Structure 1
Amino acid sequence: MLDDAQVEGFIRDGFVRLDEAFPRDLAAECREILWRDTGADPNDRSTWTAPVVRLGDYAQEPFRRAANTPRLHAAFDTLVGEGRWQPRGSLGSFPVRFPSDDDPGDGGWHVEASLPGDDMANFMTWRTNLFSKGRALLMLFLFSDVGEDDAPTRIRVGSHLDVPPILEPAGDKGLPFMELAGKAAPASEHRPVAYATGQAGDVFLCHPFVVHAAQPHHGTEPRFMAQPPLFPAAGQQLDLDRADGAHTPVEVAIRRGLGR
């Protein structure tokens, strides 16, 4: 359960770190599977040849357990609303980052897209709208210990408040990924940067509008992290004008960004 200070921090900063959200030994069990699929040998650094290896969706039982602990479910209820989100059946893709002097080429500041565009196969055409249709939260699941040198995701603190005024004029259609990134990056450049560091088993629960970016790995051990969305329940959409005023923390933050 998140306490009042954590909820207010989420509304203010755009994220909260949930420590020990899933067991550390479960993270180790999942890492064994991921190591196998990277094609690299954990005991032979000469096989760590790419700065990033992108692995596909993982729905095996250990990953489903990691995504669905009581601690996580309680936090989802608090931030998104009870009955307004879908349990995860998998943990999505894993960008596994290896120590490297090479730039992985994917370090631009952006907001995640959640609406299919004109070409579903081309993620660059996907869109985001003011109601974050298709995404209730952005989540960062740490499956390895992550320090500041280990390519932690960079998060612009409070940047989720800069995005609603950009999206509001676009209405339900929203903005394409690259257009939104091109506007959100300069709008949030005054924000301080936090790093998604922590221990294996920690999870960052982020507002869907938070502006964030990857970075090169300057540490010594690979970083294993999943970045799945939390999907809204069927038929659920954010309501920024609830008659009873009982807005969720995700909605409160958007309203705050709009000056409401």
Structure 2
Amino acid sequence: MKRRVLVTRPEPGASATGAKLEKEGFAPILLPLTRIVSLEPDIPQPLETYDALVVTSPNAVRHIPQAVIAVARALPLFAVGEATGETATQVGFTDVRAAGGTAILLAELIGRDMAAGARLLHLAAVQRTRGFIEAISALDMSMDIAEVYSAEEVSYPTDFVKGAVGPEAIWGAPVLSERAGQILSRLIIDTRMQQQFELTRFFCISAKVARALAPLTNATTFISHEPSEESVLELLLRHAGN
């Protein structure tokens, strides 16, 4: 019997991850817990007044308006990781600088590359990582925020969730954000599906994400070596013996 793996990231990522898992012989169950909604950003100042742009996810890049890209494509763009940086290059930015995958590493990269007093524009989600703004402020730089998308929680009827997951045990679940871990924990408890997840291996992108699963008593969590989806899936494959 194929190992059943729950995929909770939003589309289009959920289908992409599901296809990778299916190719490796798993039985993916797609249950996106958030949906990405594009927003019209309110940019506080003219783009020409900023020294650099900051993005912390590929979704942020995908939702930058074309009018912004046309004006700001040559500005330094600091991306949280390689996947975000690659997406920025694909949409037309020409000076992309990728950090190692966490907000802390991103702040460190900005601190090395930009002078004190620099003015940054963070093209962001409504839901943001705690501590990043404070890390930038400590560098004696200012950062405005323009929200380009929202990751809205998807509400499913209990019967739908139980039907999608089924009565059999879930072997594994990649968890790629703190918020996803929080929503997934609450969903499992609220729908009383602890039995299906009693032996589930949760493959987490970071220690912070693993801690978000704390409401699931005795949850078995594993943390990837690097904060990227690729590293999480490699970890999953190693545990499966693939």
Please state which band the TM-score falls in when normalised by the shorter chain: under 0.3
What's the TM-score, normalizing by structure 1? 0.24
What's the TM-score, normalizing by structure 2? 0.25
Compare the two structures and name the one with the higher helix fraction: 2
Compare the two structures and name the one with the higher strand fraction: 2
* Greater C-alpha Rg: 2
Higher relative contact order (CA 8 A, sep 6+): 1
